[in-house]
Structure 1
Amino acid sequence: MRLVFAGTPSAAVPTLRRLAAEHEIFAVVTRPDAPLGRKRVLTPSAVAAAAVELGLPVIKAARLDDEVTARISALEPELGVIVAYGGLVREPLLSTPDRGWINLHFSLLPRWRGAAPVQRALIAGDDRLGASVFQLVPELDAGDVFAMREADIPRDATADAALEALATFGADLTSDVVEGIDAGTLHAEPQTGEATLAPKLTLDDGALDWSQPASQVFARYRGVTPEPGAHTIVGGQRVKILAATIAADGDTASGDLAPGGLAPGEIVATKAALLIGTADAPLAVTRLQPAGKGAMNATDWWRGLRDTDGLRAGA
Structure 2
Amino acid sequence: MRIVFMGTPDFAVPSLEAVANAFEVCRVVTRPDAVRGRGKRLEPSPVKAKALELGLSVAETNRMTPEVIDQIRALGADLCVVAAYGCILPDALLELFPLGCINVHASLLPRWRGAAPIQRAVLAGDELVGASIMEVVHELDAGAYCAQVSTAAAGKTSVELLDEVGRLGAAALVDAINDIAAGTATWTQQDETLVTYAHKIDKAEMRLDAAGSATDNVRRVLASTDAAPARCAVAGKGVRLMHAATCDDSVAQGHVVVSHGRVVLGCADGALEVLEVKPDGKRQMAASAWAAGLRGDDLAWERV
TM interval, short-chain normalised: over 0.9
Is contact 2:135-2:145 (8 Å) kept?
A: yes
Please state how far the C-alpha of 1:66 moved relative to its aligned partner: 1.7
TM-score (norm 2): 0.94
1:67-112: CA deviation from partner (whole Å, max 9, x where unpaired): 2211111101111000001111112112122222101111111110
Q: Which residue of 1 aligns with 2:8?
A: 8
Q: Which residue of 1 aligns with 2:50?
A: 50
Q: Which residue of 2 aligns with 1:66?
A: 66
Is contact 1:2-1:78 (8 Å) kept?
A: yes
Are 1:296 and 2:295 counterparts? no
Is contact 2:261-2:291 (8 Å) kept?
A: no
Q: Which residue of 2 aligns with 1:269?
A: 258
Is contact 2:210-2:301 (8 Å) kept?
A: no
Q: Which residue of 2 aligns with 1:173?
A: 172
State the distance in 1 between where 2:199 and 2:153 align: 24
Are 1:185 and 2:198 counterparts? no
Q: Which residue of 2 aligns with 1:284?
A: 273
Are 1:134 and 2:169 counterparts? no
1:217-264: CA deviation from partner (whole Å, max 9, x where unpaired): 2122212245411111234443111121222xxxxxxxxxxx232112
Q: Which residue of 2 aligns with 1:36?
A: 36
1:148-207: CA deviation from partner (whole Å, max 9, x where unpaired): 23x223510000001111011001111111010000111422102411110111211211
Q: Which residue of 1 aligns with 2:104?
A: 104
State the distance in 2 between where 1:47 and 1:37 align: 16
State the distance in 1 between where 2:104 and 2:184 align: 19
Q: Which one-letter code corresponds to 1:155 in the other structure? A: A
State the secondary structure of the residue aligned to 1:174. helix
Is contact 2:151-2:165 (8 Å) kept?
A: no
Query: Compared with structure 1, are the counterparts of its residues 116 and 80 closer, same or farther at alpha carbon in structure 2 (3 Å cutoff)?
Result: same
Is contact 1:269-1:299 (8 Å) kept?
A: no
Q: Which residue of 2 aligns with 1:156?
A: 155
State the secondary structure of the residue aligned to 1:92. helix
State the secondary structure of the residue aligned to 1:148. strand
Q: Which one-letter code corresponds to 2:281 in the other structure? A: G
What is the percent sequence identity of the aligned residues?
Answer: 39
State the distance in 2 between where 1:238 and 1:68 align: 46
Q: Which moved more, 1:278-287 or 1:48-57?
A: 278-287
Is contact 2:209-2:302 (8 Å) kept?
A: no
Could you tell me which runs of 5 or more consecutive residues in structure 2 were left unpaired when the two chains were aligned: none
Q: Which residue of 2 aligns with 1:86?
A: 86
Matched residue count: 303
Q: Which residue of 1 aligns with 2:298?
A: 309
Is contact 2:258-2:264 (8 Å) kept?
A: yes
Is contact 1:48-1:58 (8 Å) kept?
A: yes
Q: Which moved more, 1:217-226 or 1:57-66?
A: 217-226
State the distance in 2 between where 1:103 and 1:93 align: 14
Is contact 2:275-2:286 (8 Å) kept?
A: yes
State the secondary structure of the residue aligned to 1:137. coil
After superposition, the CA RMSD in angstroms is 1.8
Is contact 1:102-1:136 (8 Å) kept?
A: yes
Query: Compared with structure 1, are the counterparts of its residues 273 and 310 closer, same or farther at alpha carbon in structure 2 (3 Å cutoff)?
Result: closer
Is contact 2:107-2:129 (8 Å) kept?
A: yes
Is contact 2:236-2:301 (8 Å) kept?
A: no
State the distance in 2 between where 1:65 and 1:270 align: 60
Q: Which residue of 2 aligns with 1:256?
A: none
Is contact 1:210-1:277 (8 Å) kept?
A: yes
Query: Compared with structure 1, are the counterparts of its residues 65 and 271 closer, same or farther at alpha carbon in structure 2 (3 Å cutoff)?
Result: farther
Query: Compared with structure 1, are the counterparts of its residues 226 and 157 closer, same or farther at alpha carbon in structure 2 (3 Å cutoff)?
Result: farther
State the secondary structure of the residue aligned to 2:179. helix
Query: Compared with structure 1, are the counterparts of its residues 236 and 94 closer, same or farther at alpha carbon in structure 2 (3 Å cutoff)?
Result: farther
